[in-house]
Amino acid sequence: MDDGTIVVPRLIERKRDGGALAPAEWRALIAAYVADRVPDYQMAALAMAVVFRGLSEEELVALTAAMRTSGDQFHLEDLRVAGIGPMARVDKHSIGGVGDKTSLLLAPMLACLGVAVPMISGRGLGHTGGTLDKLEAIPGFNTRLSLAAARRQLERIGVVMVGQTPELVPADRKLYALRDVTGTVESIPLIAASIMSKKLAESLTGLVLDIKTGSGAFIQDPAQSLVLGQTMIGLGEASGCRTIALCTAMDRPLGSACGNALEVREAIAGLRGGGPADLMEVTFALGADMLVAAGITADRAVARGAVEGVIRSGAALDRFRLMVEAQGGDPRAVDDPERLPRAPVSRPVTTASAGVVVAVPPRPIGHAIVSLGGGRMQADQAVDWSVGVELSCVPGQRVAAGDRLATVHARTEADAASAVAAIGRAIIIGERAAPLALISHRITREGIDVLT
Amino acid sequence: MDDGTIVVPRLIERKRDGGALAPAEWRALIAAYVADRVPDYQMAALAMAVVFRGLSEEELVALTAAMRTSGDQFHLEDLRVAGIGPMARVDKHSIGGVGDKTSLLLAPMLACLGVAVPMISGRGLGHTGGTLDKLEAIPGFNTRLSLAAARRQLERIGVVMVGQTPELVPADRKLYALRDVTGTVESIPLIAASIMSKKLAESLTGLVLDIKTGSGAFIQDPAQSLVLGQTMIGLGEASGCRTIALCTAMDRPLGSACGNALEVREAIAGLRGGGPADLMEVTFALGADMLVAAGITADRAVARGAVEGVIRSGAALDRFRLMVEAQGGDPRAVDDPERLPRAPVSRPVTTASAGVVVAVPPRPIGHAIVSLGGGRMQADQAVDWSVGVELSCVPGQRVAAGDRLATVHARTEADAASAVAAIGRAIIIGERAAPLALISHRITREGIDVLT
């Protein structure tokens, strides 16, 4: 296309040859792409050139802003919750993993602490789960709210957990679908622009990123994880959104429950103060930094005390129940988990040999859940919320022959048998385990702190 | 697409990461692309990955073969000319330039020397001219023959000059159009595959490449020109086609005439033995190597004598006239150039200052011809054969103030005035000229000879 301002082949050639596009060129390009005036084949060639050449800081900021403003935005600058405000607005974003249900705890927790949580989440794809699928395991829970309805709920109870509307950041939806089929997903600047354009469209004042590391993470190279974190923090801070990242372990699932309804159960147990230690530790660390990012306190110990407090007091559980009810879900499921979907067949995975649990790799467990019907390989697949895997072991644990390592929850005996076999193969028993540190790095605009 | 044999995003990722596609994968990919089962956006991303990663020798041969066999081929293996045969089949291909009319001489010349010349040419685009446009300046000349009709003419007179049919190498037509708008033209392996897939589809036994160097050439880096030459020679020889390349100067136009009908006039003068010295030298050098590539003789001096002989004897001119008539053109135009289109307005370009002609740059001259209506910037534009530029100077020549440098032939006074101004600005008068050697390198499967 050539609308008098940009000639796309010249822009592609410039990027290909190591040059930079001007901010106005990124704006014009993204606007034209969303309006279908730039064809997919030109955007695919440009994306591949970006994979090789990267983006300058100025280009990255311009691209992210152009994507963020490509459709509606979730304008909350004047938000008042229960008549009080305007107030800080924070969110947490995870790069994806298996068993990661921290969002279900954090959103109500932070809402109890005087900040608004306008959380827009995604669905599971491939081996990773998604918050929307977990929420929908609660009978009746509606994640498809309009921005106006989401805002009304925020004004009332300070928290809403919804899916992206079609009007929000359409450039990212279109570009991500294209990147997915053109080998151009693996680009730090394109990943950062994709995530941050969506998060910044929520008009946040603070954001905490959970960057997963290890074999089950989207990015498996630890150095690249740090670069991604720094890149996203730069984008957040450039837009006036205080952004903090924690690097957390995804060489094993987080917590014990993997699978949508199972994870809701475990999240509710966590809201009652009884979640697995690793889940609670990551939740408290992320929650404390959400409070710091919100500007409520700069003292992380104080923040940690506050987020632990809303669990201890039961306030977070109450807020969760309120949110479930507000979004059409059955609030009785919060107090009686038997009201959540439960798979008819449960079968144990046991170990034939004694030793130490060396590895509980997230990818094969995630893929087993997909095979059970609890995840999806294509974006349009339906999921069965009831199925999944409950782990009974963690890396480093000593086991005897015959010990239970996990429990498979399936629709049929045949499904259970193949998942039992797959998980039995995946969990490695040996002599010594060297799991990653649960939380290895904290990244802020000031730099990287090694936490181990 | 995923037809059970290839999953295109995985192929793109492999190439992106520096790996190679197997020959069977290139075959399946090109077949699926021509059948519209691989979308343009995936091919564009792959092409950009090839721009950065290149192709292995095995990949290049496989891609070229896959493109060559993507549609009909010009099968001539059993060709007999005037009842004699099967015989050698040679062609010449130029990477493009301004004023390059050697094909018009070489095709009939070689046909006089016992080889068949099934020449499939292209049209001008941008600053470069095209053989088909030049031929069509001859009233009635038809370049749109079917392969069957072209073969019948070859059998009768040993030479045919036509355009590519839609059935021939459709993969290249589709891929080239895509590369043209996605910044993926500038790739030595993709350029080589594009050219050689078309030439090898003519079932040649010999091919001579004219690789232009200098400011007016498609590839301006001399080292890259040599790499391109070697790459194409490798592809030709891998298919059993003896391939030789000459690097010739395109820092100035070849000959004096630039513009379709003007170039036909100059080509006819050349066939009569009266062409400009540079045009005749390049023509004889290319012609001698066509005879070597055909296997008629290995002795270039003998070959040179033979090609000079068919000019001296008038045999080449006779064969040209025969070809014009065979393809519906007016044979009287060959002997009476006044029957060729002539522009109504002719205006001189003169120099205001005395000195040495430093540069006669082809690009601005080519663009002036486009502005006069004699070329095209888009593939679907019509051209006016009559317009053009006749040069009266060559680099290194001493000129006095007021001397004529060139003559512009235009449709209107206004067109002439702006072309006169453009060419006056383009031709540089100064103190010292350093033009490129007319023929700088000869490349064969044995290596590169420096000729200067």
Asked if B299 is an interface residue toward chain A (Cβ–Cβ < 8 A), one would say no
Asked whether the beta carbons of residue A40 and residue B45 sit closer than 8 angstroms, the reply is no
The amino acid that residue B412 corresponds to is T
Asked whether the beta carbons of residue A45 and residue B42 sit closer than 8 angstroms, the reply is no
Residue A166: closest CA among A139, A185, A193, A147: A147
Burial B230-253 (b: 16+ CB within 10 A, else e): bbbbbbbebbebbbbbbbbbbbbb
Q: What is the DSSP letter of B337?
A: G
Of A99-108, B59-68, B380-389, the poorest mean pLDDT is in B380-389
The distance from CA B412 to its chain's CA centroid, rounded to whole angstroms, is 30
Encode pLDDT of A131-156 as tens digits.
999 999 999 999 999 999 999 999 99
List CB contacts of B139: < 8 A, sequence separation 6 or more.
Answer: B329, B330, B333, B339, B340, B341
Are the CB atoms for B395 and B251 separated by under 8 Å? yes
Map residue A181 onto helix, strand or coil.
Answer: coil
Residue B127: closest CA among B163, B164, B99, B102: B99
Asked if A224 is an interface residue toward chain B (Cβ–Cβ < 8 A), one would say no
Are the CB atoms for B331 and B390 separated by under 8 Å? no
Asked whether the beta carbons of residue A51 and residue B16 sit closer than 8 angstroms, the reply is yes
Distance from CA of A40 to the nearest CA of B (A): 6
Classify burial at A301, counting beta carbons within 10 Å of its beta carbon; exposed 0-12, middle 13-18, buried 19 or more: exposed
pLDDT at A385: 97
Residue A371: closest CA among A419, A421, A424: A419
pLDDT at A352: 95
Q: Which of B9, B40, B181 sits opposite A9 (nearest CB)?
A: B181
Q: CA separation (Å) from A125 to A122, A177, B380?
A: 9, 13, 45
Query: For residue B339, is pLDDT > 80?
Result: yes
Residues shown for chain B: 452
Q: Which residue of B has its CA nearest to A11?
A: B183
Superfamily of domain A342-430 in the CATH hierarchy = Pyrimidine nucleoside phosphorylase-like, C-terminal domain (3.90.1170.30)
Residue B98: closest CA among B138, B127, B121: B127
For residues B433-444, average pLDDT: 96
Distance from CA of B286 to the nearest CA of A (A): 34
Q: Which of A39, A45, A181 sits opposite B48 (nearest CB)?
A: A45
CA pair distance B149, A369, nearest whole angstrom: 64
Interface predicted TM-score (ipTM) of this complex, two decimals: 0.86
Asked if B45 is an interface residue toward chain A (Cβ–Cβ < 8 A), one would say yes
Q: Which residue of B has its CA nearest to A43?
A: B41
Catalytic residue chosen out of the listed positions B134, B198, B199, B409: B198
Q: Domain A90-336+438-450 is of which CATH architecture?
A: 3-Layer(aba) Sandwich (3.40)
Asked if A9 is an interface residue toward chain B (Cβ–Cβ < 8 A), one would say yes
Q: Which residue of B has its CA nearest to A18?
A: B52
> Would you tell me how many other CB atoms lie within 10 Å of the CB of residue A329?
21
pLDDT at A1: 42
pLDDT at A77: 93
Query: For residue A316, is pLDDT > 60?
Result: yes
pLDDT at B1: 42
**Torsion sign over Cα B316, B317, B319, B323:** positive
Distance from CA of B211 to the nearest CA of A (A): 23
Query: For residue B284, is pLDDT > 50?
Result: yes
DSSP track, B202-242: T--SEEEEEEEESTTSSS--HHHHHHHHHHHHHHHHHTT-E
Asked if A294 is an interface residue toward chain B (Cβ–Cβ < 8 A), one would say no
Of A100-104, A327-331, B161-165, the poorest mean pLDDT is in B161-165
Q: Which segments of B112-208 does DSSP mark as H helices, in order?
A: 131-136, 147-157, 170-180, 188-200
Measured between beta carbons, which residues in chain B are less than 8 angstroms from residue A48? 12, 16, 44-45, 48-49, 52
Burial B357-390 (b: 16+ CB within 10 A, else e): bbbbbbbbbbbbbbbbbbbbeeeeeebbbbbbbb
Catalytic residue chosen out of the listed positions B53, B151, B179, B265: B179
Q: Is B198 a catalytic residue?
A: yes
Global pTM reads: 0.89
Encode pLDDT of B393-435 as tens digits.
999 999 999 999 999 999 999 999 999 999 999 999 999 999 9
CATH class held by domain A8-54: mainly alpha
pLDDT at B218: 87
Distance from CA of B176 to the nearest CA of A (A): 13
Are the CB atoms for A293 and A243 separated by under 8 Å? yes
Mean pLDDT of chain B: 95
What pairing do the DSSP bridges indicate for beta strands B117-121 and B159-163? parallel
Asked if B42 is an interface residue toward chain A (Cβ–Cβ < 8 A), one would say yes
From first CA to last CA, the distance across chain B in angstroms is 52
Map residue A340 onto helix, strand or coil.
Answer: coil
Q: CA separation (Å) from B168 to A292, A329, B59?
A: 67, 63, 22
Distance from CA of A51 to the nearest CA of B (A): 9
For residues B164-179, average pLDDT: 93
CA pair distance A294, A319, nearest whole angstrom: 19
Measured between beta carbons, which residues in chain B are less than 8 angstroms from residue A39? 40-41
pLDDT at A126: 85
Distance from CA of B412 to the nearest CA of A (A): 29
Encode pLDDT of B34-60 as tens digits.
999 999 999 999 999 999 999 999 999
Query: For residue A2, is pLDDT > 50?
Result: no
Map residue B326 onto helix, strand or coil.
Answer: helix
Q: Which residue of B has its CA nearest to A12?
A: B183
> Would you tell me how many other CB atoms lie within 10 Å of the CB of residue A338?
8
Asked whether the beta carbons of residue B45 and residue A49 sit closer than 8 angstroms, the reply is no
From-to residues of CATH 3.40.1030.10 in chain B: 90-336+438-450
Q: Which of B42, B52, B182 sits opposite A42 (nearest CB)?
A: B182
Measured between beta carbons, which residues in chain A are less than 8 angstroms from residue B183? 9, 12-13, 15-16, 45-46, 49
What pairing do the DSSP bridges indicate for beta strands A388-391 and A404-410? antiparallel
From-to residues of CATH 3.90.1170.30 in chain B: 342-430
Q: Tokens 């049209």 correspond to what residue? A: B123
Q: Where are the beta strands (DSSP E) in A95-239?
A: 117-121, 159-163, 206-213
From-to residues of CATH 1.20.970.10 in chain A: 8-54
- Band the pLDDT of B290: cuts 50, 70, 90: very high
Q: CA separation (Å) from B344 to A125, B145, B259, B336, B413?
A: 69, 32, 14, 18, 9
Asked if B221 is an interface residue toward chain A (Cβ–Cβ < 8 A), one would say no
pLDDT at B4: 54
Residues shown for chain A: 452
Asked if A37 is an interface residue toward chain B (Cβ–Cβ < 8 A), one would say no
The CB-side HSE value for A110 (13 A sphere, CA atoms) comes to 38
pLDDT at A379: 79
Q: Which of A41, A52, A181 sits opposite B182 (nearest CB)?
A: A41
Asked if B224 is an interface residue toward chain A (Cβ–Cβ < 8 A), one would say no
Restricting to B residues 160-179, those with a Cβ less than 8 Å away from any Cβ of A are 178
CA pair distance B53, A16, nearest whole angstrom: 12
Encode pLDDT of A341-367 as tens digits.
999 999 999 999 999 999 999 999 999
Asked whether the beta carbons of residue A45 and residue B49 sit closer than 8 angstroms, the reply is no
Q: Which segments of A239-295 does DSSP mark as H helices, in order?
A: 260-271, 277-293
Asked if A6 is an interface residue toward chain B (Cβ–Cβ < 8 A), one would say no
Between CA B55 and CA B60, with CA B58 as vertex, the angle to 5 degrees is 45
Distance from CA of A43 to the nearest CA of B (A): 8
What pairing do the DSSP bridges indicate for beta strands A257-258 and A345-350? unpaired
What pairing do the DSSP bridges indicate for beta strands A90-94 and A206-213? parallel
CA pair distance B423, B410, nearest whole angstrom: 13
pLDDT at B2: 45
Encode pLDDT of A189-247 as tens digits.
999 999 999 999 999 999 999 999 999 998 888 899 999 999 999 999 999 999 999 99
Residue B216: closest CA among B379, B435, B397: B435
Asked if A377 is an interface residue toward chain B (Cβ–Cβ < 8 A), one would say no
